[in-house]
A and B are shown apart, each in its own frame.
Chain A
Amino acid sequence: MAAVLFAFGLQAQQKSDLPNVTLKDLNGKDVNVSSLFANNKRGATQNGPVVLTFWATWCGPCIKEHNALDEVYADWQNETGVKIYAVSIDDSRTTAKVKPFVEGKGWDFEVLLDVNGDLKRAMNVNNPPHTFLFDGKGKMVYQHTGYWDGAEDELYEEILKLK
């Protein structure tokens, strides 16, 4: 009985600020962003924080941001369990280039393709780069637009607050 109650209680709590939008990963597989926190069968609470960054191959500051994030990503993962998803808003003129671009740059984080701009519109991203931070339950706790050197440190401070 406790389990039943717990299940319902949990259901009411499983509120994710991520919209119900399906994107593709670099291997062409569908990924529903609202399920990014439901991967864990033991309940969403066990997931670590998630960073979602909107970018494009033609966006200079975005590439700087990703190069900077890539450098610290392994350390961040070890320390906080954070997962970074880079959402490319490249349209059909550059989608074919995204995978070779990401691999060529050697970035380690997951990349999702928002070819039709569905997630961009749903999350009200006006201009890339635009970075969101979600806690392990899918609640959005921080966002930032633009990138200057050192902005990743600010983001990390926000991630540490979630610990």
Chain B
Amino acid sequence: MRKHILLTLALALTFGFKASAQSFLENSQVNGSFQTDAQYYMLDNGIGIDNLYGKQLGLNGFGKVGYSNGNFSAGIRFEAFLPELNGFRQELNGVGLANFYATYDNGFVGVTVGDIYDQFGNGLVFRTYEEWSLGMDNALRGVRTIVRPIQGVTLKGVYGRQRYFWAPYNEREFATDDYRGIVRGVDGEWDLNQSIPAMNESEFKMTLGGSFVSKKQYDQSLFYYIPENVGAAAGRVNMSYGRFAFSTEYAYKINDPSAINNFIYKEGQALMSSLSYSQKGLGVVLQVKRTDNMSFKSQYTALQNDLDINFIPPINYTHTHSLPSMYTYSTQPNGEMAAQFQVNYTIPKGTVLGGKYGTKLSLNMSQVNDIVRDSIMDHGQMVINKKGTLGYASDFFAVSDHRFFRDINFEIDKKISKDWHVTAQYINLYYDIETIEGHAGAPPVQANIGFLDVTYKINKRQSLRFELQGLWEREVKKGYVYDESEKKDYQKRGDWAFGLLEYSITPHWSISIADKWNYGNPVPEFRDHYFTGTVTYIHEATRIMLSGGRQSEGVVCVGGVCRTVPASSGVSLTVSTSF
């Protein structure tokens, strides 16, 4: 018997050791992905490109490799912008190791060193992320620690300095070009249902969370006293009962004069709430948001989306078709009042309206207005938004008459038969182009937009898809004679038509041609065709896309952050793969 035990033990030890050595090798995984976007630019007088300014070719590329083994993972990302594609920031020009990290996480404690992507709650006080298609990356290089002391409780701490294109991360306090601050933050989240046994199976669910983030920046200003420590805090509640869910988050930031808010010393506030109801076949959600002076950057002179510590989510509908997404809203950092209502409903299969496959309907309404700003007393004078003052007073619940954006849309998605599928949408749009894109004096875009997207399945492998889209603008002074200086405001304005035909052979090939035509532009010389042809080849996780033609001037938005793309003409190639 004893012999048996010993033998078993010896065998167990041997195999145990072998198993762990084996598992160390076997469980280690290497993965990675690569993408290259290149474009060859050509002159095209037809759309006003008469000079390439020495840039014949643009190339954005990245490659990343990750390693993981059980609780350990690490990775690097290499980037190249040689030079950057048109529409990307010139500061990206260069090649190098942009990102690296190593993480150990055993479920109780997790530590990451290197470049960190994370967010607290909705991101109102902290969110670092990377969006390749925008050339945007605000990763925090430093340390993150996560502790999960008991089931349902997560505590996080982050500390570091943010990425600013290729600027070095070492501290250069008095250098004029780079004096980014240090960002540090803590967040706690408590899921009551996971940590309180009596609530484990409860229909009522609740999660509480809170965070505090501060930046330490250097006052380099000759005119203002810039606070060197700026703190922001947020608290959040998520709850649900059966089919209902409610969540809200409130954030507050102390005075933080910056180039974005015109160097005012007002505090910042943000509130975001949503209420939803869901049952099989029906989903309804209402969201409201108020933000006031909540731009939060790790350097007070930073502009655009540079060095953003937080993220103010826009709560409008994200369109995916060409003309509907031409005028996409981007968050106004200095304040907005926004609301959104959305219903998704599926008319069941087997009913008169539902037919054999059911019919999917969706309705979305969203609107964004400015907040109300009242003048304040400063040194015996009534001022509003004056540099160096407290800025303005604002009634929390007041909505300004100044409307930035409104989108009311209705979509129907219907599989008609085994071979035919139709999606159609109508959109009524209001877009304050003067505020959102900074076209001073340009009248707002008020448009009706519609599209029809039809797919016909020829057989098991082949399908044909076509899209017809139209955008009809109201109130653009047609036939008006513009002087030269005013003309540029009318680029891309007026009525548009769009057609696309795509033939695909799944799983590898797709060929498409499309034409976008600004036929109703008030300026006759802008009534251009933007013709493109695209061939795509996909093999498993590899995608190769070659396209040629014209690209209209526009805005590319991902996640509410946008970049403008200049008009261009030429050939572009995208190769993307992962393993």
Contacts and interface: CB of A to CB of B under 8 A. Distances in A.
A36 interface: no
Contacts of A91: 119, 123, 129, 311, 313, 559
Given A8-B15, A12-B23, A92-B311, A104 B362 contact: yes
Contact of B27 (A15, A124, A146): A15
A67 B507 contact: no
B191 A19 contact: no
Q: Give the interface centre of B205, B504, B506 by most chain A CB atoms within 10 Å.
A: B506
A150 B132 contact: no
B543 interface: yes
A16 to B, nearest CB: 9
Contacts of A19: 29, 68, 73
B540 interface: yes
Contacts of B274: 96-97
B214 interface: no
Interface string A43-71: 00000000000000111100110010001
Contact of B117 (A4, A57, A64, A117): A117
A124 B578 contact: yes
Contact of B285 (A71, A100, A115, A151): A100
Interface residues of B, number: 96
Contacts of B33: 124, 126
A143 B33 CA distance: 13
Nearest to B119: A116
A104 B66 CA distance: 37
B458 to A, nearest CB: 9
B457 A149 contact: yes
Interface string B281-321: 11111010000000000000000000000010111001011
B510 interface: yes
A113 to B, nearest CB: 12
B122 interface: yes
B8 A1 contact: yes
Interface of B: 4, 7-8, 11-12, 15-16, 18-19, 22-23, 26-27, 29, 31-33, 35, 64, 66, 68, 70-71, 73, 105, 117-119, 121-123, 127, 129, 132, 191, 193-194, 205, 207, 238, 240, 245, 247, 274, 276-285, 287, 311, 313-315, 318, 320-321, 342-346, 357-358, 360, 362, 413, 415, 421, 455, 457, 460-463, 465, 504, 506-507, 510, 536, 538, 540-543, 559-560, 576, 578-579
A60 to B, nearest CB: 4
A151 B465 CA distance: 14
Given A97-B342, A154-B506, A126 B129 contact: no
Nearest to B289: A93
B507 A151 contact: yes
Contact of A71 (B29, B105, B287, B357): B357
A144 interface: yes
Interface in A114-163: 115-117, 121-127, 130, 142-146, 148-151, 153-154
B31 A123 contact: yes
Nearest to A153: B460
